[in-house]
């Protein structure tokens, strides 16, 4: 048992653990956390496998980091407990008797004689200390009286309260590491999605985007309803930096997007040989509609790309999810077979060309498009937050005790002699020595008044 206490109360162990935890935290800051394996492979190449294997990509939830926190907490607890017992004895049962020589070595100190007898001087000394706010204990041994005056005794426990706060903080970190998680929930207006590891659901009632005059995004707002067993519990707006808290979860507004898969596209069809022919079609990707011409043509909207670009192998793809270069792929179908197809661009209508044996003189124009927006919410549960707040409060209280509530002590030894009483005073204070020396001088002056 002694070896266990000696090992875990070691200051060297505490320093070593702090260095390792600091180095690991620096890595956790430099390495993006919780990203996809593909992103790590693109960023770090062959090193990505090592980072993922040793959980540097999810550092604060890794077992080895949590184990380090546990060892540091154990080290702090053992150190605190080994030093707490003597402090408790000092606070509850202090040694009152003192040696006059030891008091004479203190700073501040004082020594003088009183003409009164020992009982009268003892009473005056105790009253002077009590008047200055000190708790007084005294002991008599033959012709000597020892008096101890102390105030702000709780100040000696300031470092211990700080250590307790650190332990609670570490416990909060461990609980968060083991029980906390984050996930993203993508919702379209009117959709309801279950919240993972929760007994309730969340529904997106309305999503709005506010823009600055230059067109950049100013704010996103998700009006949501929390439901349990299909019964609404509460409604709230979630904005950037204004999350919703419910059932131990925090919901943050992360991002948004356009639901291009269900976009409504307006296409105009014309015939160069028939100036009076004009057909407006409103379709969604995957839908078809009759053109209404003599040939019985049906128009099939195969694809919609919000930001058309030719990718690898000249394959059409979207560069982003913003409508920077909208384009649709149109097919013409007659009697169940495809007779022409071609891309139609909103920004470049002259580039639209139908390719096929029966394209005839048809021309198409991408007149407009509409797409609903979806909201991306982050649901985060951090069960260690109450412990972390409690730990922060304890650390603040402990620092306040240590720096602003320092323990002060004034000792007096009264020695009875024929027709006089020898008085020796000595004081000590952990902090605020200037104020304490003035207080000590006032107590000494009160005792000297009849000397």
Q: Which residues lie below 8 Å from residue 130, measured CB to CB, with a gap of 6+?
A: 136, 149
What pLDDT, on the 0 to 100 scale, is given for residue 451?
A: 47
- Residues of the chain where predicted confidence (pLDDT) is lower than 50: 451
- Residue 49: its H or E element: helix 47-53
Closest residue by Cα to residue 94 from 12, 52, 151: 151
Q: Rounded CA gap, 76 and 8, in Å?
A: 8
Tell me the C-alpha distance between 408 and 161, whole Å. 19
Q: Give me the pLDDT at residue 174, please.
A: 87
Residue 277's pLDDT is what? 86
Helix (H, G, I), strand (E, B) or coil at 191: coil
How many other C-beta atoms lie within 10 A of the C-beta of residue 233?
13
pLDDT of residue 360: 66
What does the pLDDT look like over 248-291, one tens digit per residue? 899 999 888 888 888 899 999 888 778 888 899 999 999 999 98
What digits encode the pLDDT tens for the residues 137-155?
999 988 899 999 999 999 9
Say which residues have a Cβ less than 8 Å from residue 446's Cβ, sequence separation at least 6. 124, 128, 131
Structural domain spans, the chain: 2-89, 94-152+406-448, 166-258+374-396, 261-369
Look at residue 357 in the predicted model and tell me its pLDDT: 67
- pLDDT for the residue 105: 84
pTM for the whole thing?
0.66
pLDDT of residue 124: 93
At the top level of CATH, the class of 94-152+406-448 is: alpha beta
With residue 414 as reference, give the H or E element that holds it: strand 408-417
**What is the three-class DSSP state of 281?**
strand
What is the model's pLDDT at position 214? Answer: 83
């Amino acid at each position: 048992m002694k070896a266990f206490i000696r090992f875990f109360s070691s200051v060297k162990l505490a320093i070593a653990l702090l260095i390792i935890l600091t180095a690991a935290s620096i890595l956790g800051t430099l390495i993006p956390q919780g990203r996809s394996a593909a992103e790590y492979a693109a960023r770090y190449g062959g090193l990505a496998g090592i980072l993922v294997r040793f959980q540097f990509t999810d550092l604060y939830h890794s077992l080895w980091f949590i184990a380090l926190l546990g060892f540091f907490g154990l080290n702090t607890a053992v150190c605190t407990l080994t030093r707490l017992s003597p402090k408790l004895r000092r606070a509850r049962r202090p040694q009152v008797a003192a040696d006059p020589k030891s008091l004479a070595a203190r700073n501040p100190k004082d020594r003088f004689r009183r003409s009164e007898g020992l009982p009268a001087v003892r009473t005056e000394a105790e009253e002077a200390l009590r008047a200055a706010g000190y708790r007084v204990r005294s002991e008599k041994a033959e012709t000597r009286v020892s008096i101890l005056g102390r105030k702000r005794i709780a100040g000696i426990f300031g470092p211990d309260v700080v250590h307790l706060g650190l332990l609670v903080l570490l416990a909060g970190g461990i609980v968060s590491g083991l029980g906390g998680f984050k996930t993203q929930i993508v919702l379209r207006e009117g959709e309801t999605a279950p919240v993972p590891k929760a007994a309730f659901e969340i529904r997106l009632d309305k999503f709005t985007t506010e823009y600055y005059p230059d067109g950049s995004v100013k704010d996103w707002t998700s009006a949501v309803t929390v439901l349990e067993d299909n019964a609404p519990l509460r409604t709230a707006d979630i904005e950037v930096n204004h999350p919703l808290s419910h059932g131990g979860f925090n919901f943050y507004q992360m991002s948004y997007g356009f639901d291009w898969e269900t976009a409504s596209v307006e296409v105009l069809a014309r015939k160069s040989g028939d100036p009076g022919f004009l057909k407006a079609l409103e379709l969604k990707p995957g839908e078809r509609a009759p053109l209404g011409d003599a040939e019985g043509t049906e128009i099939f909207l195969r694809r919609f790309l919000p930001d058309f670009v030719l990718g690898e192998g000249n394959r059409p793809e979207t560069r982003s999810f913003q409508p920077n270069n909208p384009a649709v792929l149109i097919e013409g179908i007659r009697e169940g077979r495809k007779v022409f197809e071609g891309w139609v661009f909103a920004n470049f209508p002259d580039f639209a060309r139908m390719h096929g044996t029966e394209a005839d003189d048809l021309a198409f124009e991408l007149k407009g498009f509409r797409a609903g927006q979806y909201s991306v919410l982050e649901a985060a549960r951090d069960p260690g937050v109450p412990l972390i707040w409690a730990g922060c409060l304890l650390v603040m209280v402990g620092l306040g005790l240590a720096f602003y509530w320092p323990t002060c002590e004034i000792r007096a030894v009264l020695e009875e002699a024929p027709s006089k009483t020898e008085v020796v005073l000595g004081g000590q204070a952990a902090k605020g020595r200037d104020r304490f020396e003035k207080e000590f001088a006032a107590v000494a002056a009160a005792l000297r008044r009849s000397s």
